[in-house]
Structure 1
């Protein structure tokens, strides 16, 4: 119910982002949400993860925290049973230059084709009703950890990769990819704890 039938892999999602309507020379969160749909938990997670992970976009100060806010709002609403996600105007109006966005999209294309070749439906029970909600809880934990990660080099990238894997696992109904996302988040948390001790 929360995955759109149109986008079933990473390249299809990237194509949707390339074709989306943009506001002049800026790309807003609202543009992205309209492109993937307000009922699309997996694609929204995947987009938030890719934006955090992509160096050109994710390294903009405050961007990981902004994506964390998006993930928290969407995850909580999913857990509350909403079918269409509400987002506040202050979040929807946030934007970056179209040039930076387009460069970031181009960076993801080559690895996206390779990743899509590895995806298949595996352990589909992990992407069902209960699995989606377990994923939402893990995403909440990731999102709450992301703001302080901005001060620890490369840790926000680990969170972005974990979100990307979780979103991709839901979009492709690949439970193995979901498990990789869970494991990566656990490993990122362990490394942060080790650095703080």
Structure 2
């Protein structure tokens, strides 16, 4: 049986292997086919294997690792594999603690400065833009509206403020920039491991 494997990606993503049928997507004009395979999150990176869609970068990597055993992505040794996952989880803990602190700082306020944007909002404001961009690139939700409702609302309120909205760099160009940065880091890590 011939397996059908499609990968929806942007032009700058290096994750398409030659065995995949690659479908390039424009972040600002997503195809019907992509939206069919990822109707909920509508994120671009989707792997379709024999008609079954798999979304989210980390989930795709795990699926590939489990499906095509001849080219493992994770260490084959169970202990080394567990340590790789543990290191990833340990790196997340300090980030979650910081988000909890910021959530508490917003109690009873629209912005960190109260009802208006102040210095702390401007100092942290870049996060409102970058976090959503990185979430889209990585396929992992960081500021979940259920876990961090105040922080999520602050990000939206800050992003919607006319003075901020009118002066942020174009989102599509930022996505391309950070995808290229991520790709360069991955390529450098792969070259270093050879």
In the superposition, the TM-score normalised over structure 1's length comes to: 0.24
Greater helix content:
1
Greater strand content:
2
Task: Kindly indicate whether structure 1 or structure 2 has the higher relative contact order, using CA contacts under 8 Å at least 6 residues apart.
Answer: 1
Larger Rg: 2
